[in-house]
């Protein structure tokens, strides 16, 4: 059974389509990474899937329940941890989780039994009995994860769960996400601005741009679509004629220009890079930088959106 199946999910604001006929099929037990530049429709898609807003057209089934006609039922099946954790700083961690349990209808012994399970999941030690205002950023994230799990959801939506965290705290959240998926079998829909995070955690990745799902696949599949190796050339005054000459070199499968940076896709980078240098010299175009590296998700993002994710995030 599919955990999530969206068909032609669309959201229109005035004359602008924030999301344009997005269709998704996500299996139970899968970690699905959802990437997109700022303003691409990523957040709007998530808000529709978790029933915060209604689609203009289209629908999605969450474990077989419609987000349009069965929104209340859907909410019982999902846990949601958004970018800004809704935490009461004056509360103790354990009291916050107890309140969440009551809000989901748990009573009496069922509450304490569930809290005992959540304390193991959240893994922040005795801090669970201390005020939330004393928590580090990573501890707050893990507490928010525990709150999203209080009612044993089948699907967990994590919207940029490690934004603003230091590298150590980020890795701890990664470990938590893996454990929730592996040990509890929870399907996870993850958005992130960190491509390394998506590469490390996601079984499959979808990239949205301009409201449309532009590409989808496993991290390795997406990288192969761009090329096994990338030769990156930085040079000023590149002409269309020069780009055409590079495209004709043996072993080059694709040439893309992004400002002063030219990326050449190839299956045999070490054998081709010298040919690129010789051709640039023949064309009398000074090279500022010439590097050879394996394809990354950042290259995939650049290929399908025209921008690097880091550049987009800096311009928010």
Asked whether residue 120 is domain-assigned, the answer is: yes
Asked whether residue 240 is domain-assigned, the answer is: yes
If residue 3 lies in a helix (H) or strand (E), which one and from where to where? strand 2-13
Asked whether residue 222 is domain-assigned, the answer is: no
Q: Are residues 130 and 239 in the same domain?
A: no
Q: Are residues 284 and 176 in the same domain?
A: no
Q: What is the pLDDT of residue 316?
A: 42
The answer to whether residues 254 and 248 touch, using CB atoms and an 8 Å cutoff, is: no
Q: What is the pLDDT of residue 55?
A: 98
User: Residues with Cβ < 8 Å from 309, sequence gap 6 or more?
Assistant: 35, 37, 193, 195, 298, 301
| CA–CA separation, 37 and 207 (whole Å) | 9
The predicted model scores a pTM of 0.82
User: Residues with Cβ < 8 Å from 305, sequence gap 6 or more?
Assistant: 36, 37, 40, 207, 209, 214, 312
Q: Are residues 144 and 242 in the same domain?
A: no
Q: What is the pLDDT of residue 191?
A: 92
The percent of the chain in helix, strand and coil, each rounded to the nearest 5, is: 40, 30, 30
Asked whether residue 308 is domain-assigned, the answer is: no
| CA–CA separation, 251 and 40 (whole Å) | 34
Q: Are residues 206 and 187 in the same domain?
A: yes
Which domain CATH number covers 204?
3.40.50.300
Q: Are residues 259 and 172 in the same domain?
A: no
User: Residue 27 burial (CB < 10 Å; 0-12/13-18/19+)?
Assistant: middle
Q: What is the pLDDT of residue 98?
A: 94
Q: Are residues 45 and 183 in the same domain?
A: yes
Q: What is the pLDDT of residue 281?
A: 93
| CA–CA separation, 146 and 100 (whole Å) | 10
| CA–CA separation, 242 and 240 (whole Å) | 5
If residue 274 lies in a helix (H) or strand (E), which one and from where to where? helix 269-282
Q: Are residues 143 and 91 in the same domain?
A: yes
Q: Are residues 165 and 48 in the same domain?
A: yes
CB crowding 261-271: b at 16 or more within 10 Å, else e:
bbbbbbeebee
Asked whether residue 316 is domain-assigned, the answer is: no
Q: What is the pLDDT of residue 310?
A: 59
Q: What is the pLDDT of residue 228?
A: 78
| CA–CA separation, 96 and 160 (whole Å) | 22
Asked whether residue 302 is domain-assigned, the answer is: no
Q: Are residues 112 and 156 in the same domain?
A: yes
Range of the domain at 264: 228-294
Per-residue model confidence as pLDDT tens for the chain (316 residues): 899 999 999 999 999 999 999 999 999 999 999 999 888 999 999 999 999 999 999 999 999 999 999 999 999 999 999 876 678 899 999 999 999 999 998 999 999 999 998 888 777 889 999 999 999 888 888 898 889 999 999 999 999 888 888 888 888 889 889 988 999 899 999 998 889 999 999 999 999 999 999 999 999 999 888 877 899 999 988 888 899 999 999 999 889 888 888 999 988 888 999 999 999 999 999 999 999 988 889 889 988 998 877 544 444 4
| CA–CA separation, 301 and 306 (whole Å) | 7
Which domain CATH number covers 240?
3.30.70.980
Q: What is the pLDDT of residue 21?
A: 97
Q: Are residues 169 and 266 in the same domain?
A: no
Alpha-carbon radius of gyration of the chain: 23
Please report the sign of the dihedral spanned by the C-alpha atoms of residue 37, residue 38, residue 41, residue 42: positive
Q: What is the number of structural domains in the chain?
A: 2
Give Cα 37 to chain centroid, integer Å. 11
Q: What is the pLDDT of residue 77?
A: 95
């Amino acid at each position: 059974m599919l955990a999530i199946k969206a068909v032609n999910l669309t959201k229109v604001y005035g004359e602008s389509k924030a999301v344009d006929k997005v269709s998704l099929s996500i299996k139970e037990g899968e970690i699905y990474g959802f990437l997109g530049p700022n303003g691409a429709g990523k957040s709007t898609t998530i808000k529709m899937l978790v029933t915060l807003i209604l689609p203009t057209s289209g629908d999605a089934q969450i474990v077989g329940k419609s987000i349009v006609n069965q929104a209340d039922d859907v909410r019982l099946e999902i846990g949601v941890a958004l970018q800004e954790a809704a935490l009461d700083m004056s509360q103790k961690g354990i009291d916050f989780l107890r309140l969440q349990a009551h809000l989901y209808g748990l009573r009496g012994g069922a509450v304490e039994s569930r809290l005992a399970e959540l304390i193991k999941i959240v893994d922040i030690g005795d801090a669970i009995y201390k005020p939330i205002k004393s928590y580090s950023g990573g501890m707050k994230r893990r507490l928010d994860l525990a709150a999203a799990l209080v009612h044993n959801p089948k699907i967990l939506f994590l919207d940029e769960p490690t934004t603003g965290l230091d590298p150590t705290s980020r890795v701890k959240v990664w470990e938590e996400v893996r454990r929730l998926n592996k040990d509890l079998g929870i399907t996870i829909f993850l958005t992130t601005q960190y491509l390394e995070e998506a590469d490390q955690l996601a079984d499959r990745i979808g990239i949205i741009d301009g409201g449309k799902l532009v590409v989808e696949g496993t991290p390795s599949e997406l990288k192969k679509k761009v090329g096994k190796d990338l030769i990156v050339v930085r040079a000023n005054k590149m002409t269309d004629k020069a780009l055409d000459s590079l495209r004709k070199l043996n072993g080059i499968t694709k040439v893309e220009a992004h400002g002063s940076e030219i990326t050449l896709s190839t299956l045999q980078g070490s054998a081709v890079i010298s040919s690129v240098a010789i051709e640039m010299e023949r064309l009398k175009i000074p090279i500022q930088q010439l590097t050879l590296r394996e394809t990354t998700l950042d290259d995939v993002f650049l290929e399908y959106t025209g921008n690097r994710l880091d550049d987009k995030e800096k311009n928010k």
